[in-house]
Amino acid sequence: MYIFSQSKRFDCTHGGVTKMATIYDVAKESGFSLATVSNVVNGGPRPVRPETRRRILEAVERLDYHPNAVARDLARQRTQTIGIVFGVVDLSEIVINAYSAAVLQAVMSVAAETGYNLTHLMPPWRGASRSLRQYRDGRTDGLLIVAPPTDSDMLPALASIGVPVVAVSAGRQQASVPSVDVDDAYGAKLAMQHLLDLGHRRIAHITGHLNLESAQVRLQTYRECMAAANLEAPEEYQRQGYYSPESGADQMRRLLTLPHPPTALFAANDEIAVGAIETAREMGVEIPRCLSIVAVDDRPVASLITPALTTLHQPFDAVGREAARRLVAAIQGQPAAVETLLFQPELVVRDSTAPPCS
């Protein structure tokens, strides 16, 4: 029977207020010292007489002793925990966002495999002077920064304090910390080349969040490819989206009501393409006959939607796993070169692209 208040734990057997057993209790109960109890509980490193071990383990059992991880972490000066920070604009998009989900997924796997815990650092970055404190508060052995905003001092600040850090999708900011990334410029080139090869000349682009590196690179590559092909990329063909279906639907509508609508769209991600397809359907524009769409990410939706999307397959699983592995290596003291590891995306041609209709 429990009685309650605050954070105390009551012990039914006594009906009184009891604390959880500590290592002191086990030492007293078993008649051995703290050092020996600690050693037995941790399974080493010193040798222990079997009889000693037995008596201590019995005391542990009897008292239902559970070591306190916080005390252990303080004494050991490490937590076996890696912190993950999502640099996306809005917290509400973190997991929904298929990209973040894939990376988180991969990181969790590696953490589980390597015996690390994973904790989310929740508060958004508000500048080095205000946020640095929270990010180096001793709760994590290292930090994984996913898609840091381009306009913040996060990466350089983190790099300067000597905490193990690995960035994912940091783009040009990678200069300051080791990072893992997909070769976005190369991917965007593949996508554009595909449309150009099909014979498209009026190609539009709907961007992602422009304060994310990936969105900037895709936009810039779009412009470069158009220029290299001697094609015009009028302002009204370059629409700002937000990596969401809504923004895709919205901007597609504007593109299709232009005096000279494009014959092809390079969408900054699958979700934008999903929205664009919806709008095209509503407006009776046939895909791919009258409008080709190439996107980026190859999330599950890409092959499920009709028409199935031609899109860049991004190896996010590999990115997440490799980033986590590098972070763990850095935490364990292996010297980490400040370099960027680039994975190459692949173009997956499905049903949303075709030559322009005359």
Interface with DNA by CB under 7 A: which residues?
19-20, 22-24, 31-36, 38-39, 41-42, 46-49, 51-52, 65-68, 71-72, 74-77, 138
Query: How open is the CA angle 160-100-78, to the nearest 5 degrees?
Result: 45
Nearer to a second copy, 1 or 51 (CB): 1
Q: Measured on CA atoms in the order 274, 279, 284, 287, is the torsion positive or negative?
A: negative
Among 33, 42, 68, 344, binds a second copy (CB under 8 A): 68
HSE, CB side, 13 Å, CA atoms: give it for residue 241: 37
**Contact (CB, 8 A) for 251 and 278:** no
User: From the CB of 324, what's the least distance to DNA, in Å?
Assistant: 24
Q: Which residues contact 281 (CB under 8 A, 6 or more apart)?
A: 287
Q: Among 34, 35, 161, 228, which residue sits at the site for a second copy (rule: CB under 8 A)?
A: 161
Residue 13 touches a second copy, criterion: CB under 8 A: no
Please tell me whether residue 183 binds a second copy under the rule CB under 8 A: no
SS3 40: helix
Nearer to DNA, 33 or 220 (CB): 33
Of residues 34 and 69, the one with the C-beta less far from a second copy = 69
Cβ closer to DNA: 67 or 307?
Answer: 67
Q: In 3-state terms, what secondary structure has residue 239? A: strand
| Binding of a second copy by 4 (CB under 8 A) | yes
Nearest-approach distance from CB 201 to a second copy, in angstroms: 30
Shortest Å, Cβ 328 to a second copy: 13
Q: CA 102 to CA 318: how far, in whole Å?
A: 10
State the binding partner of 49 from DNA, a second copy, none, CB within 5 to 8 A by kind: DNA
Between CA 296 and CA 269 the distance in angstroms is 4
Q: Does 3 bind a second copy (CB under 8 A)?
A: no
Residue 304 binds to a second copy (criterion: CB under 8 A): yes
- Please, which residue, 6 or 358, has the CB nearer to a second copy? 6
CA nearest to 266, candidates 246, 295, 237: 295
The rounded distance, in Å, linking the Cα atoms of 52 and 62 is 15
Q: Are 268 and 241 in contact (CB under 8 A)?
A: yes
Classify residue 189 as exposed, middle or buried by CB count within 10 Å of its CB (0-12, 13-18, 19+). middle
Cα separation, 246 vs 275, whole angstroms: 6
Q: Which residues bind to a second copy, rule: CB under 8 A?
A: 2, 4-7, 9-12, 20, 66-71, 73-74, 77-79, 81, 91-92, 94-96, 101-102, 104-105, 108-109, 111-112, 116-123, 132-133, 136-139, 141, 160-163, 274, 300-301, 304-306, 333, 335
